[in-house]
A and B are shown apart, each in its own frame.
Chain A
Amino acid sequence: MNLDYANKGQIVEIINIPDASIRAQAIRLGIYKGVKLLCSEKLPAGPVILQNRMQEIAIGRNLAKKISIKTIV
């Protein structure tokens, strides 16, 4: 499933980010294949917020649709 289906409060594991440039930028912010992150907020039809400890990243909904994930909890 893709990140846009994650729900607030769920822990998700990143499976794949298709675009190479986005992949490189995301990895610097701690988002990469295999990492487990908390979906800390989801704005209605808007960005999905992923949290790793104190770090929060907002991901636009269109981008979230392209990122495949697996839910952990």
Chain B
Amino acid sequence: MSSCHNIISLDIPYDGKKLVLVGNPNVGKSVFFNALTGIYVDVSNFPGTTVDISSGKYNDLYVMDTPGVYGVSSFNDEERVARDVILNADMILNVVDAVHLERDLFLTQQIIDMGIPMIIALNMMDEVERNGLSIDVDKLSKELGVPVIPTTATKKQGIHIIKTSLHKACTGNKIKGIDNLLDEVIDKVSVKSEALLVLEEDENVCSRNNLENKYNYREHIYKIRRERVDNLVKDTVSETNEGASFRTKLGRYMLRPLTGIPILCLSLYITYQLIGVFVAQTIVGITEEVIMGEYYYNFIMNLMGNFVSETSFMGLLLIGEFGILTMAPIYLLGLLLPLVVGFYFILSIMEDSGYLPRIAALTDRVLTSLGLNGRAIIPMILGFGCVTMATITTRLLGSKRERFIATMLLGLAIPCSAQLGVIVGLIAPLGGKMVMLYSMTILGVFVITGTILNKIMPGESTDLLIDLPPIRFPILQNVLRKTYIKSKQFLLEAGPLFVLGAIIITVLQYTGALEVITNSVAPITEGVLKLPKETAQTFIMGIIRRDFGAAGLNTLSEAGLLTPLQTVISLVTITLFVPCIAAIMVVFKERSMSESALIWIGSFVISFLTGGLLAQIML
């Protein structure tokens, strides 16, 4: 990047002219990005799920996308990323949702106040009329002092005009009374556009310009900007009628508990059917067992068999039971990838339709008592797909405290889909009573742990303050693109961890440490949990791969070694048990050393305590 603040490194030459796309979440920016650059890009409308910057070229312009933000500042990661890209822009294409001008123009006016040349795409014009509104576009353009072009990007209307009008981008009309304030600091900053953010008390911008954060103008400036925007909207937008369409009503139904909870249950049921049944059983049956388990396995064994002996250390490391070329790719590509793709597909639909923020509002009350807020529902839902990727998404939570609680609950009480499949298979035949015993125990531990953590952890969790975007029908192309990008990212993040995991296990096995551990745990297994000694091996396997553990129980159960109650106890223990090795490693990557150790040891203690308690009461 051409500036001295090399925060996001992209291959853009020093003299390259940068066109940056900016807008609130879910305004259709990515459609413009694609139309300009023709390359794949991530789209997201929920705060916290996009922190990546996509870039491409349009003629001689370097086009960069930014995460959807409500303003240029640093309240969270996306905002900090967006801020730094915006600060270094040569020109801005601001995509604005025409139906939500009072929300979107705050950001618009802020960038105008920064003094960066701008052109506005007034998007979703098709919804303006449908919502009973009418907008005086010429007046809006004149008032703001920058070109405003009406578009409906999803129908490709107006995009061509945007392309031919880019050269008309200009600096607009700043809010009254800030010029003299800007003069105070303009000589003290390295990039001119940063002057405004110094006045607005942006800590990062102040510190990198070696300025004290002493100006205290944020509220003053925000206030006059907000008044200006509200007046602008009053002068240019008129309401022609009440626009309570079906979608508005649907949005309400999703919020109200009486209708919202059944809608949520239905959505989760459909998700389960698609991920837990169709993908986890049918698709994975083909990808893991046939494609990877047979074709790939045979191929790699034949190939490698020529070079290494299967029983040597190198052989074990590469093509052994937990080999880098056997277990790691089979597990990652055959089992996890289809599940991850399925989950991101559903999640993208929930995001793009505007449903996700409503689930967050609906579940806020329940999650507040666990020290979280409604936003935490996202990692929790994701956890049923894969705890590893869910742990990564805890980044979207507001405070360190919440991220710790969410990670703990995820690692402890959320069974991932791979494990869930085996658990359902094992427990369903045992009858309703056993199913209830299992689910109530897990749910109880989840609630009790969250409540206790909320009580004993210092500080307070952040409160929910969230924009509810209109309900929209998601565009398939965008959903597929997002699924593709997220899945790819997941593979890139998780891949190396699996290889590392394979190495660790092989070493443990080769050195005999695995057996030593198995034997040393046996007294707990037999004494506390009242389970046969063989289950210890199963538990160790559970750390490597959660469903390995559950699958091991399946074998024991089939061999008649476990009574129904013992099955439930072992399942409870293995569910609450530390998550798989990939999840453990991600936890260590995301949290601090001490927090991770606490989560790990805590899960151990709670799982054996709960299993033990259940065993003492029931057996």
- Cα distance A24–B99 when bound, in Å? 23
Tell me if A10 counts as interface (CB < 8 A to partner B). Answer: no
| Chain B interface mostly | helix
Contact call B465/A60, Cβ cutoff below 8 A: yes
Q: Which residues of A contact B (CB under 8 A)?
A: 20-30, 32, 35, 41, 43-47, 49, 52-63
Contact call A47/B364, Cβ cutoff below 8 A: yes
Contact call A63/B75, Cβ cutoff below 8 A: no
Given contacts A46-B364, A60-B463, contact A30 B374 (CB under 8 A): no
| Chain A interface mostly | mixed
Contact call A28/B106, Cβ cutoff below 8 A: yes
Contact call B465/A22, Cβ cutoff below 8 A: yes
Contact call A45/B103, Cβ cutoff below 8 A: no
> CB-CB < 8 A to B252: which residues of A?
41
Tell me if B223 counts as interface (CB < 8 A to partner A). Answer: yes
Least CB separation from A41: chain B residue: B255
- Cα distance A59–B364 when bound, in Å? 10
> CB-CB < 8 A to A61: which residues of B?
364-365, 368
Tell me if B357 counts as interface (CB < 8 A to partner A). Answer: yes
Digit string of B253-293 for contact with A (CB within 8 Å is 1, else 0)? 00111000000000000000000000000000000000000
CB-CB contacts below 8 Å: B426-477 with A: 463-468, 470
Least CB separation from B218: chain A residue: A24
Size band of the B side of the interface?
35 or more
> CB-CB < 8 A to B257: which residues of A?
43-44, 46
Given contacts A43-B255, A46-B361, A55-B100, contact A60 B464 (CB under 8 A): yes
- Cα distance A64–B532 when bound, in Å? 54
Contact call A28/B222, Cβ cutoff below 8 A: yes
15 CB contacts below 8 A, A to B, read A20-B219, A22-B463, A22-B465, A24-B218, A24-B219, A26-B465, A27-B219, A32-B222, A52-B102, A55-B102, A56-B251, A58-B364, A60-B364, A62-B368, A63-B464
Q: Which 3 A-B pairs have the closest CB atoms?
A: A60-B464, A63-B463, A46-B365
Contact call B70/A29, Cβ cutoff below 8 A: yes
Digit string of B222-254 for contact with A (CB within 8 Å is 1, else 0)? 110010001001000001000100000001100
> CB-CB < 8 A to A56: which residues of B?
251, 467-468
Tell me if B373 counts as interface (CB < 8 A to partner A). Answer: yes
Tell me if B131 counts as interface (CB < 8 A to partner A). Answer: yes
CB-CB contacts below 8 Å: B355-382 with A: 357, 360-362, 364-365, 368, 373-374
- Cα distance A59–B360 when bound, in Å? 11
Contact call A57/B468, Cβ cutoff below 8 A: yes
- Cα distance A59–B131 when bound, in Å? 24
B497 CB to closest chain A CB, in angstroms?
A: 35
- Name A59's contact: one of B103, B106, B133, B464 (CB within 8 Å): B464
